[in-house]
A and B are shown apart, each in its own frame.
Chain A
């Protein structure tokens, strides 16, 4: 797996990369020859309240962390899928790595060059090699330009076509009739003739049979009395000069058209390549349907012969049948031109179809990467699992399938949750060691704590609901809060803590209540940000901490003394390679890994067990 970067050290993507540009920029791109694009610690923040007046008033600008420390490797010739829900920062990532937006931090290397520090001339060259196809085919084409102009615009900006000194020019000469013909070709003919494998072959057909005849049907060039020279499909753009000599002719081939004509020719070729007809070159975008416009967008991206194309949701605005046509086209173009794609999408079935590897984003961070096969067959991160689960399959077995949905919406990137950003919706949050509680109740406690922490709990509202403006009936208050947050399932030490905290809360001391709850219920998921480990198929999730620790270098580490491990051990029922070994060290009540947090599939039975476990564990873990 080339994702692993042996020279870069195991923590690169976790910690070093977050320090930003420094470390990476100084070090040469290590090891990996295949990566065409290397993104490290890419961040893009937008700021609100950042005007001059705000600064004069000394207001703190609010940052919106659209992209927050993304690492990606895109290898030559592969398609990397970038998936996630709207607002997770996938499009911003795509645009920032092409420098269409200025990155806040991080580094992007394209073929070894640092994109983010390029000067204008370097950037211009980079733009030629890296292109983008936008999502919306209706707003991404200038309505006042013909599609021919749209496609040729890039060529015009780069003053193309220009002769490439690396491309050799050869003539494929066919001579009809009996004549000794010597053909010479101008070096810059490669501007008009498509090159293949570094050689531009000019098909030259010299018809010497009718020497002296008048004219030729196919519009070839005819020297007076000499042979007819034709260039097949290049007739319009090439010119020949025929010089008679002893026993034969010298033919000199040169470009016989202006750059403008050449660009137009190129646009025609591209239109045909993407499945439109060359005759449509003078039409305006509104004359095309959505699928056809998207083809024009693809032709525009191809015009400069790029190596790398960011495809930003290229098919999500299209109908299914047209979508399939475009996906097939993208597939063909990739194998034909050896393109590398970054395929940004929210439709997982499309990603599954077209991508070699996939990175899943959530709220500005990559939470899991892997080959398409790995990711779809055995997703690791609970978010990936939820995404896959949610997609409706077009199959009769889908009938009536009930999806366990994620609760709530994606949190605001203005104030992302602490620790793991997914924890507010995660169905597998890890309770601390020694706290046995079923997931839904744990979620309820967490919701209550979040509300208290954010300071929008509103004790007054509860008292109002209780109907006791004097705030005396604390029992009723507690009942009300329990009912609202669904905290009735708690027993044992957990129940005591909650009871305690509600008592404090009823007395109006919100912060203290929050502290009491936090003391017992704080999860590793909120205190520590999970990092994307350096391994094949990594997932940034604490559920895999123990697995990693078990496989890690430090075999002697006592799992229980490691605070991170303790929590994760709870969830180890499904994954721990050797539950006995770990279980022996765990405190009472969690010794049986099956009593851990349910892994989502075995919910009910486990929940029941959890209650028992928490009863058992009362003595051991009471503060």
Chain B
């Protein structure tokens, strides 16, 4: 979608660490549904550095998956990215567009969102790649696994053959070619070379007998194997940034451990940056160096793993950590967060900290939009909570039931969860 030119913003990439490969600023995605406007992602900022695993953790409906889709520009109607910048470090691309779209270029960084549609599409695969949550429904059931991976390889192969300037490589494969290939047997999108590479990739992700498995269909694979195949497909383009959206949620723990090991090995080998999106704090702890916690479409706390896990400031982060039963030192009682995830409907959001209605430490100061504050710990530790700058004051605390008396939420606090939030429920068995 083209940007409104009147919507002028200060040009230039935001400041950040020199290692950043991706700087996301003020990313905002809304869904325009019949029930009203859903603010799925609300001004999200984060950075991803070279060769690191950045974790995004949150519950279902917190906007973490939509954030991922927004970064790689895969949001579909009725959703729309309404604002924000995605600065991606790619000197070649920057040089290419320096003259055409000067606003989108700053040094080595390019604001992907301001590039033309075709270029954005061409970045998917070689620059950004994604592993989806449910391997069973993310692969085409009527095409063999090998061919699907070969397609991804082919895309990459044609990309390197045709420089980016000649627009997206898929456009080289138009309707005419498709018809010819369908009618003439023995002609497909994929070539023998890409199929051989697909087998190599399958082997790389630890699938036994890759040559034989490549000719099988997704239903002949087990869940863990399919997830490996998905990883192979995502790696086909040798991406700079790999976004893994709940890559192990549908898997058993022993298989999950295999996939996590695999991801870590491949990441170390290829020096890919990974954005790991999950609801499982354990997975975050095992895999990530830096973490962002999302709630109601916002990043509410971010920092290094130690900042977030050992010195959480935001009561939501604390609540999340208190909700998990500890395997090694079981407590007799869990301390869950009361209430439910809010609906994210624009009309119900209000101008306040979105967590205040569930927060055990809600104060009068929480009844305004909260900016990010620096918190104790490492330099990167920031939180969207007033507790970072002031002590909890009983006197200023909101009375019990304050939010229940709000119009619209009486006696049904949270019960109006939108069905969309429910659909994201994990399918783990």
- Interface, chain A (partner B; CB < 8 A): 85-86, 135, 138, 277, 279-280, 283, 286-292, 313, 316-325, 327-328, 331, 346, 348-350, 352-354, 376, 386-396, 398-403, 405-406, 408-409
Contacts and interface: CB of A to CB of B under 8 A. Distances in A.
Contact of B415 (A289, A322, A390): A289
Interface stretch (B3-11, B22-30, B159-167, B302-310): B302-310
25 contacts: A138-B422, A280-B415, A289-B422, A290-B425, A316-B428, A317-B425, A319-B341, A321-B319, A352-B326, A353-B331, A353-B334, A388-B327, A390-B257, A391-B253, A391-B327, A392-B260, A392-B286, A394-B321, A396-B306, A396-B309, A402-B261, A402-B264, A403-B257, A405-B254, A409-B225
Given A320-B59, A386-B254, A390-B257, A328 B334 contact: yes
B282 A394 contact: yes
A353 B286 contact: no
Contacts of B256: 390, 392
Contacts of B224: 409
Nearest to A291: B340
B279 interface: yes
A393 B257 CA distance: 12
A324 B341 contact: no
Interface string B294-338: 000000000001100110000000011111111110110111111
B429 A394 contact: no
A349 B328 CA distance: 9
B282 A387 contact: no
Contacts of B200: none
Given A287-B416, A316-B428, 14 more contacts: A85-B252, A86-B429, A288-B415, A317-B425, A320-B324, A322-B340, A324-B324, A325-B336, A331-B333, A348-B253, A376-B327, A392-B257, A396-B305, A409-B224
Contacts of B336: 321-325, 328
Nearest to B322: A324
Interface in B368-417: 411-412, 414-417
B254 A321 contact: no
Nearest to A288: B415
B287 to A, nearest CB: 8
Interface string B38-75: 00000000000000000000011000000000000000
Contacts of B333: 328, 331
B255 interface: yes
Given A392-B282, A399-B305, A316 B426 contact: yes
Nearest to B309: A396
B320 A321 contact: yes
Contacts of B417: 288-289, 292
Contacts of B254: 85, 386-387, 390, 405-406
B381 to A, nearest CB: 13
Interface of B: 59-60, 208, 222-225, 252-258, 260-261, 264, 279-286, 289, 305-306, 309-310, 319-328, 330-331, 333-338, 340-341, 411-412, 414-417, 419, 421-422, 425-429
B415 A393 contact: no
Nearest to B284: A394
B286 A409 contact: no
Contacts of B325: 324, 327, 349-350, 352-354
Contacts of A399: 285-286, 289, 305
Contacts of B422: 138, 289-290
B20 to A, nearest CB: 21
B261 A319 contact: no
Given A289-B414, A391-B282, A317 B327 contact: no
Nearest to B288: A399
A348 B114 CA distance: 47
A396 B285 contact: yes
Residue among B224, B327, B412, B427 with the most chain A CB within 10 A?
A: B327
Contacts of B335: 324
Contact of A319 (B60, B253, B258, B327): B60
Given A322-B340, A325-B336, A405-B258, A346 B285 contact: no
A135 B327 CA distance: 22
Nearest to A389: B257
A396 B306 CA distance: 6
A454 to B, nearest CB: 13
Nearest to A328: B334
A321 B328 contact: no
B411 A279 contact: yes
Nearest to B253: A390
Nearest to A318: B425
Given A346-B253, A394-B309, A320 B425 contact: no
A320 B321 CA distance: 9
Contacts of A286: 419
Contact of A393 (B327, B330, B411): B327
A393 B328 contact: yes
A395 B319 contact: no
B340 A393 contact: no
A279 B224 CA distance: 44
B285 A392 contact: yes
A405 B340 contact: no
B411 A277 contact: yes
A389 B328 CA distance: 11
Contacts of B280: 392
B228 to A, nearest CB: 11
B422 to A, nearest CB: 5
Nearest to A386: B254
Contacts of A135: 429
Given A328-B333, A396-B309, A398-B285, A317 B426 contact: yes
A320 B411 contact: no
A519 B201 CA distance: 38
A141 to B, nearest CB: 12
A393 B284 CA distance: 9
A268 to B, nearest CB: 14
Going nearest first, the 5 A-B pairs with the smallest beta carbon separation are A392-B282, A324-B336, A353-B325, A394-B281, A289-B417
A390 B283 CA distance: 11
Contacts of A313: 429
Given A289-B421, A409-B222, A319 B279 contact: yes
A394 B324 contact: yes
A349 B327 contact: yes
Given A321-B319, A352-B327, A398-B282, A405 B261 contact: yes
A396 B310 contact: yes
Contact of B334 (A86, A327, A409): A327
A390 B422 CA distance: 28
B376 to A, nearest CB: 16
B308 to A, nearest CB: 9
A334 to B, nearest CB: 13
Contact of A348 (B60, B319, B327): B327
Contacts of B412: 277, 280
Given A289-B415, A395-B309, A85 B253 contact: yes
Contact of B285 (A325, A395, A403): A395
A503 B333 CA distance: 63
Contacts of A395: 285, 309
Contacts of A317: 425-428
Contacts of A322: 59, 336, 340
Contacts of A283: 415
A294 to B, nearest CB: 11
Contacts of B283: 392
A606 B404 CA distance: 65
A39 B286 CA distance: 39
Contacts of B421: 289
B360 to A, nearest CB: 12
A405 B336 CA distance: 31
Contacts of A400: 286
B281 A403 contact: no
A133 to B, nearest CB: 16
A399 B308 CA distance: 13
Contacts of A292: 340, 415, 417
